[in-house]
């Protein structure tokens, strides 16, 4: 691309086409999002005649009612607990396994690694009915762990692969030196590998968090009590109760996707990095 132009750029139809095309796609993406946000500020009557435009009268009450109800916060709390459990356990278990695969040579290592990575191919839906029965027999039905443990198991394959890839780049000499100095593998893992791996841990953690935060099928199967529902389940129940009171449902949707969008803006670097490197290396 030439930046050193001094004369005004001649009219380029390709640029115009590009601008129009991008604008159309941007509108396609934005309109449903804005309509949702704004719809929450309208009354039901206004929504019917004016679903696109700005509200004539801003109904802050729609949002306030939800924010002052315990229900919204309970859903977020449940989601937060399940996602935090899932992320913590995934990072712990996956990093230990990845460390072993990266730095400890032993008979059967590559076989066990391929066994774990098979998980990338398995459709979760196949396992879901037997999983329900297993979780029930373990007495974990209707508990946060009943949702979190299977989520950890399903996120292991990708997490171990990504972490192992990163751990392998930590110089082997460092480990050797540490071992000669009498440092144990465990201490090396704790005091060298993990601190050095913050970026990849953040990436894997963010991806796991987003997946767990948005998950629907597993919580749907494992939880029966409304009080334990994470927000995707809760919002479906809410929609069922308020079936056509769209102004309330839209306000509720907006408030529940807000945390996701904030997280995305804060962690976009990690999210994109995780998806693309996971894609290329997985």
Partner 1 sequence: MARPIVSSAAMHVARPPLAAQASRSPSWDGRFTVLILFLPPALLLFTLFVVLPIGEAAWYSGFNWNGFGKPTNWIGFDNYRFVLETRAFWLALRNNGLIIAVSLCVQLPLALTLALMLAERFRGAVALRMLFFMPYILAEIATGLIFSFVYDGDYGLVASIWRSFGAEPPHLLASTDTAMLAVLIVIVWKYFGFHMMLFIAALQSIDKSLIEAARIDGATRLQGLRHIVVPLLYPTIRLSVFFAIVGSLQLFDLVMPLTRGGPADSSNTMVSFLYNNGISRMRVGYGSAIGVILFVICVTFAFTYKRWFMRDE
List binders of partner 1 among 242-281 (CB under 8 A). 244, 246, 249-250, 253, 256-257, 260-261, 264, 268, 271-272, 275-276, 279-280
Q: What is the pattern of x (binds partner 1, CB under 8 A) and - over residues 110-149?
A: --x--xx-xx-xxxxxxxxxxxxxx--------------x
| In contact, 170 and 140? CB cutoff 8 Å | no
Task: Look at residues 225, 214, 224 and name the one whose alpha carbon lies nearest to residue 257.
Answer: 214
Based on the shown chain and the rule CB under 8 A, indicate whether residue 52 belongs to the binding site for partner 1.
yes
Q: Shortest gap between Cβ of 71 and partner 1 (angstroms)?
A: 16
Select the span of 5-13, 66-74, 170-178, 197-205 touching partner 1 (CB under 8 A): 170-178
How far apart CA 184 and CA 177 sit, in angstroms, is 11
Applying the rule CB under 8 A, the residues between 5 and 44 that interact with partner 1 are 14, 18, 21-22, 25-26, 28-33, 35-36, 39, 44
- Give, in degrees to the nearest 5, the angle at Cα 105 between 104 and 109: 105
How far apart CA 69 and CA 153 sit, in angstroms, is 34
Q: 3-state DSSP: the chain helix, strand, coil percent, rounded to 5? A: 80, 0, 20
Select the span of 50-58, 60-68, 69-77, 197-205 touching partner 1 (CB under 8 A): 50-58
Q: Shortest gap between Cβ of 73 and partner 1 (angstroms)?
A: 18
Residue 178: Cβ-neighbour burial (10 angstroms; 0-12, 13-18, 19+): middle
Q: What is the pattern of x (binds partner 1, CB under 8 A) and - over residues 55-94?
A: -------------------------------------xxx
How far apart CA 131 and CA 124 sit, in angstroms, is 10
């Amino acid at each position: 691309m030439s930046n050193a132009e001094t004369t005004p750029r001649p009219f380029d139809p390709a640029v115009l086409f590009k601008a129009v095309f991008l604008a159309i796609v941007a509108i396609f993406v934005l309109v449903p999002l804005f309509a949702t946000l704004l719809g929450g500020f309208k009354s039901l009557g206004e929504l019917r005649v004016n679903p696109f435009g700005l509200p004539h009268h801003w109904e802050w009450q729609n949002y306030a009612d939800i924010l002052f109800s315990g229900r919204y916060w309970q859903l977020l709390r449940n989601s937060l607990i399940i996602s935090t459990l899932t992320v913590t356990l995934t990072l712990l278990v996956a990093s230990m396994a990845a460390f072993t695969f990266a730095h400890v040579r032993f008979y059967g290592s590559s076989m066990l690694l391929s066994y774990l990575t098979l998980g990338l191919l398995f459709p979760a839906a196949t396992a879901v009915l037997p999983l329900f029965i297993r979780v029930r027999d373990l007495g974990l039905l209707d508990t946060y762990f009943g949702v979190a443990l299977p989520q950890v198991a399903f996120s292991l394959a990708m997490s171990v692969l990504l972490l192992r890839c990163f751990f392998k780049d930590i110089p082997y000499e460092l480990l050797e030196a540490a071992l000669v100095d009498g440092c144990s593998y465990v201490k090396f893992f704790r005091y060298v590998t993990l601190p050095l791996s913050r970026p990849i841990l953040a990436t894997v953690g963010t991806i796991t968090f987003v997946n767990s935060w948005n998950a629907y099928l597993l919580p749907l199967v494992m939880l029966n009590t409304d009080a334990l529902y994470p927000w995707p389940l809760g919002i479906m129940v809410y929609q069922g109760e308020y079936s056509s009171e769209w102004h309330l449902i839209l306000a509720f949707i907006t408030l529940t996707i807000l945390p996701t969008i904030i997280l995305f803006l804060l962690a976009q670097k990690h999210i994109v990095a995780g998806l693309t490197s996971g894609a290329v290396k997985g």
